[in-house]
Structure 1
């Protein structure tokens, strides 16, 4: 399949549309298998420069269509995020375009490697935003996502790309009927085999520990107003009283206590009194501030744990993975020019960029003899970070978030389904508490056992169980992703040093 430049642009746009429509909350996950061959056709033989441009355009289109909701948080941040985020797709387009210019259709087999490498590399820096992974389009395809236990969600991305490429070659060889038929059958057999294998991995569960996720539904512009703290606490006090009869652990969402909680003794006492009154453990999101002997203050987005007998534990879990351009300005602490730009944005443009510090280490809590880890909002998108938390003893995970920033957009739905993969990768239960929804319980197979609707003041109760045992991903980490990244770097170097031969 070869196209002239105007046709290529149309084909590229179609591939970007297919990719964007495959994500939650839309039910079109099957489109992810077809965007790959269309994208392959749009960049084939372009060379590095044209491929780079095409990949960048693809990245901008998909970012605008799937990540538009980020604008509700920070306008400057979303512009910077789109511009930087699109560079990853530009690299895919550039390297695949150059590979196909030199080696023809065979160069397209680099796409699965490039895509996995770029998805992984998006998680490695302070500007990381690993959100648009191809694998996430399969969140509702329960049998296929069981592949994630092998080596993380990268395996699912790789699988979708392979199926898509086989379909590309099947269509490209339609005139060779036998070859085309064999390729179509190969795609069907490969998909069916993975599907059947996934079904066989699912076994009966015996949940035995009662939890509740609280959804206060307090608007973000109201939550942080002076004098509103009591209003917030009354809401969660009432929800706690309703949910406590059916739960041993109550999970309040991110910043449910909208203050530097460690400095507010009256509100600490309030939560402690709820825990004693209801005889239940409570975990809540709040802010945390420390001050060094020299007077230097550090601010954290944190999770605190309370028990009926011990009250508040002194050590919270401080969020380690901060949202770039929202919770912090990347590299501002190392590069003076960036720090000055941050101050300009805050003072001259009156736009908010928080100055949170990342935590120093993972902290786990224990409720009724069961250790658990807490992922604060954005932390759930980092597979190896979650793996580290589980390997440090967490028997189940909680996710606390405040998605009210994103309104009634696709954002809260996309965010809701990401824990599906963390559950499968580590074979653990996950409980999610969100201020305005969606709260949910995920079993170790990535199935949504229960969930609330977006919006409304409510709570969710249910039972969870112990972890389902070890996985290859838990033991070895993201080996496939690292191999693909190494191959991409090596391949890029080879293409660069041999460039003159093909000019």
Structure 2
């Protein structure tokens, strides 16, 4: 999905059509996005044959009932599959990582975590897959105002293995590790919403009510 033209993307339009039933609804979802540069590309951009440049992202999108779209780019990248060190020397390994479903070192991340906010002001820390094991990275989002943590994974990638179940369990353990800067009581609310890292979320009248526990620094 082209981030500069996302509002005309068919998937985006389908998401907005779905949200039209919910006045204050927000949809946080994962996507593969990119940005194209004709001039002054950042150092992270890859050259294209047409003389342009591209940055490729594993992205969390926050879509709402307006033209407003928020992006978060996965920044703790899986070595090899999403970030390939010494790319020129190790380029012969690219077919191996491609077979595992990765982008063979093609993704660009952010220097710092950012939160996604609803119009009501509720902030969510977007955590994409592998990032859930990085307690300090997620803790920075909580300290900067996130009221709950939205962990996005592609469970289908794991097929009929225990990988998706391990992914579900790990955040409640790792986000509480010493040094993360806080102590929390993890409370699983549903299979699709894991609350931890000092956050309690409960269903109230069909909505999500975030509530912070005491955070110890």
Q: TM-score, normalised by structure 2?
A: 0.72
Q: Do the aligned partners of 2:148 and 2:201 also contact (CA within 8 Å) in 1? A: no
Q: Do the aligned partners of 2:200 and 2:213 also contact (CA within 8 Å) in 1? A: no
Structure 2: distance between partners of 1:300 and 1:396: 23
Q: Which runs of structure 2 are paired with 1:28-427 in the superposition (5 Å)? A: 259-260=1-2, 263-264=5-6, 265=8, 266-279=10-23, 280-294=25-39, 295-308=52-65, 310-313=66-69, 315-332=70-87, 336-338=88-90, 340-343=91-94, 345=95, 351=99, 353-354=102-103, 355-367=106-118, 368-421=120-173, 424=176, 425=182, 427=184
Q: Do the aligned partners of 1:287 and 1:299 also contact (CA within 8 Å) in 2? A: yes
What RMSD in Å do the two structures reach over aligned CA positions? 3.4
Structure showing greater relative contact order (alpha-carbon pairs closer than 8 Å, 6 or more residues apart): 1
Q: Do the aligned partners of 1:430 and 1:443 also contact (CA within 8 Å) in 2? A: yes
Q: Which runs of structure 2 are paired with 1:425-444 in the superposition (5 Å)? A: 425=182, 427=184, 438-442=191-195
Structure 1: distance between partners of 2:131 and 2:60: 13
Structure 1: distance between partners of 2:198 and 2:140: 19
User: For 1:383-406, what per-residue CA distance to the aligned partner results, in whole angstroms no more than 9, with x for missing partners?
Assistant: 111111112221211101012222
- Deviates most, 378-387 or 261-270: 261-270
Q: Which structure's residues are more often helix, by fraction?
A: 1
Q: Structure 2: give runs of 5+ residues left out of the alignment.
A: 40-51, 177-181
Structure 1: distance between partners of 2:20 and 2:202: 29
Structure 2: distance between partners of 1:365 and 1:430: 22
Cα separation, partners in 2 of 1:430 and 1:273, compared to 1, 3 Å: farther
User: For 1:335-360, what per-residue CA distance to the aligned partner results, in whole angstroms no more than 9, with x for missing partners?
Assistant: x212x3245x36xx973541212234
Q: CA deviation at 1:284?
A: 1.4
Cα separation, partners in 2 of 1:446 and 1:318, compared to 1, 3 Å: closer
Q: Which structure's residues are more often strand, by fraction?
A: 2
Structure with larger Rg: 1
Q: Structure 1: give runs of 5+ residues left out of the alignment.
A: 1-258, 451-460, 476-503
